[in-house]
A and B are shown apart, each in its own frame.
Chain A
Amino acid sequence: MEEEKVAITVIGDRALIFSLDDVKRLRDLKVTGVLSGTLPIATQQNIFLGLPLQLMSEEVVYLVLNRYGYLVPSKFFYNNLLSSSTDGDLEKFLELKNEIFQSQTKQKELDNLVKQKNLVNNNNNNGNGNSHLVLHKGSNNESTFFYEIDNQSLKSYPSYKSFQKYYDKSDIQLKLLNEFFMKNGGDLLMANCNMFSYLLSKNYYIAPGLKFGGNFIAYPGDPLNYHSHLIVNVIQDFYTDDIGLNRIVNGGRLATSVKKIWTIGGNKNGNKSYKDLRFPPNNETLHQQQQQDLVCFSIEWSGFG
């Protein structure tokens, strides 16, 4: 189960997923995210973007607390971790690092040999004896086609994933999550997260809702197969926040014109503070743990008047 966990990297204020396998895994969990990768010289504005996948704050919280993913600490945190480790720990780190490095170079050598073999075979098949390809015998008794330049990147830090078991621990993850909350709205984000997990439990797929004037838009199935049904607005305080009659007219009108429903939701029991977040015990979902009493209303134009 550990290996299937998705690694979420937070860079600045964006939560990103860099691995394609993770993106696929997330889609199975009904978390779609938004592809955001583009080239500076070929910028695009719509769906033809690539990795990394950017996640909404609510998606991050959902994945971490339900143990589907873990937060990768930033360099700052990473350095702190390093500096707070004992000597024994440091030795272990270096050993691990070397192991990984060795296994990676071995793999690269194997790949090179295979490549080389294939190329030679192709040449022979051409039946042309005039081969301009010369095999060099490089250092370390390796045959290569190229004059080998020392690849610096192989000597840098191994992938963050290899250190997963060091920071994928409940206390560290909770600390990282707290930091994440502080940068993304604090307790205001909690209400959104509650609504998010409620909708997921009703089998909706959720995407950002700015274009339609809401916190989210919700699809009854995979967004590639369905149009969205709901424009969702989260109400922070069930008892004192004004929904806003002007907002109802606005939302109702907008939703009716694009064949969606304008939904509002709030927690009757009030929202906990993010500082009180805990991982739910294994036999409970996050939703159950929060003991939410989410009340939703759907608004649309009545058709007369």
Chain B
Amino acid sequence: MSKRKNYLDSIYRNPLPINLTALNLKNLVFGFDIHQDQILIRYQDFIFKALDENSIKKLWFNGFFGKGQLSRSEPTFKERTKRRILPIKDFEKLSSEEITKLRREERKKFKQERLTLEKQEILLKSNKNFEELQKIEFLKHELNSKQKISNKKSLKELFDEQIIKNGKDFNINELRKEDLLLVKKDDEGNMDIENIEYLQLMPVEAFFLRFLNLYIDNIDDDYNDHEITMFPLRKLFYTCISIDHLQPDNRFIISYIVYHHYRSLGWCVKSGIKFSTDFILYKKGPPFQHARYAVTIVPNYENDDENMENPSATDKNNWIWFSSLNRVVSGVKKNLIFCYVDIPKLDIFMDKMREIDELDDYYDEGDKFKELFELYKIYEIGIKRWLPTKNRD
């Protein structure tokens, strides 16, 4: 196990896409290494995307930013599809999606075998054929022990079995028409797959990277092959707010504040939509361990009337929703955290926004946005169900 851990630690060394170089060890002065090739992010169709392989690698391997749009998390579309469609069958670096698929099929096979045995058992019971029943019992026992973890087949075995099952011949005419569109030839004339996958970033991630000045260049929508223009922070901000109104409880702003809070504490923050929460927190990142915490954001207005009437707060005022959320989160063995965000008054907020809008184009907007975010306060509560009968020990 530790071999794998060391391997993971070595490839995922940096929590952020920054290279620190020690300039002066005595006084502990560090400097940023300016990357030779910048990370490029494009805003297109209302999505923040990284399209070129270099940017994708930098973003994923230094903090797990973004998500492969055609994968579960790490972008693995090209390799998986190559293995699926083309007659290339190498076992190395099997993706997590493929591993899951292999295990699922193994389990499905096991369930089918068990079902046939059970059906036979029922038939024999009704016929009172005791001799045959004993044989079935034995077979069932054998089947169950095969499924035990210590006896399970290795992934390589399963992989090889599947190749044999699918047949070695490759017939380009048997591909779906959707897959046919992808097949192409690479520079050396070998068969290859068009990589149509990009890395998608959440607006909070894109803003985080730009806010920290991590040398990200955002390419404008009217992208010209030879021009790379910087997205000014203000423009990025307004883009992220998008359809919602500019007001203190804007969903993007509150979401960003919570994201920034946890990221700056070292957590890897990902979307919690699968568990109906806002975010989930990984200690190191998805390849290491499952996320321990699920975070739900609850806006807290200064004026208590708003807490009682505004739908973004009242949605979360109700015990039925609370009970349901807690149940889902504990069902996946995570801990629920309620992150309350204190929302500043409208006039204070608008004053700060005006200051930001009035800035000169060349002024560092980062400081002003920092002041804006400092108007908000966070406090967290961890929730765990307590059962008086069970939790006494």
Contact = CB atoms under 8 A, between A and B. Distances in A.
A binds B: yes
Interface of A: 45, 209-215, 242, 244, 246-247, 249-251, 253-254, 257
Given A45-B388, A254-B328, A257-B331, A249 B273 contact: yes
A254 B315 contact: no
Given A45-B389, A254-B328, A257-B331, A209 B275 contact: no
A244 B273 contact: no
A211 B331 contact: no
Nearest to A233: B320
Interface of B: 273-276, 311, 315, 319-321, 323-325, 327-328, 331, 388-389
8 contacts: A45-B389, A210-B320, A213-B321, A213-B325, A215-B320, A249-B276, A250-B324, A251-B324
B315 A212 contact: no
Contacts of B311: 242
A72 to B, nearest CB: 29
Contacts of A250: 276, 321, 324-325, 328
Given A210-B319, A253-B275, A253-B328, 5 more contacts: A213-B320, A214-B320, A250-B325, A253-B276, A254-B331
Nearest to B278: A246
Contacts of A210: 319-320, 323
Contacts of B389: 45
Nearest to B315: A244
A44 to B, nearest CB: 10
B387 to A, nearest CB: 9
Contacts of A246: 273, 276
Give the dominant DSSP class at A's interface: helix
Given A45-B389, A244-B315, A254 B324 contact: yes
Contacts of A45: 388-389
Contacts of B320: 209-210, 213-215
B319 A254 contact: no
A22 B389 CA distance: 33
B131 to A, nearest CB: 37
Residue of B274, B315, B327 contacting most chain A CB atoms (<10 Å): B327
Contacts of B388: 45
A170 B391 CA distance: 51
A213 B276 contact: no
Nearest to A231: B324
A51 B294 CA distance: 41
Given A45-B389, A244-B315, A246-B276, A254 B321 contact: no
Contacts of A212: 323-324, 327
A287 to B, nearest CB: 25
A213 B327 contact: yes
B331 A213 contact: no
Contacts of A215: 320
A254 B327 contact: yes
A257 B388 CA distance: 24
A242 B274 CA distance: 20
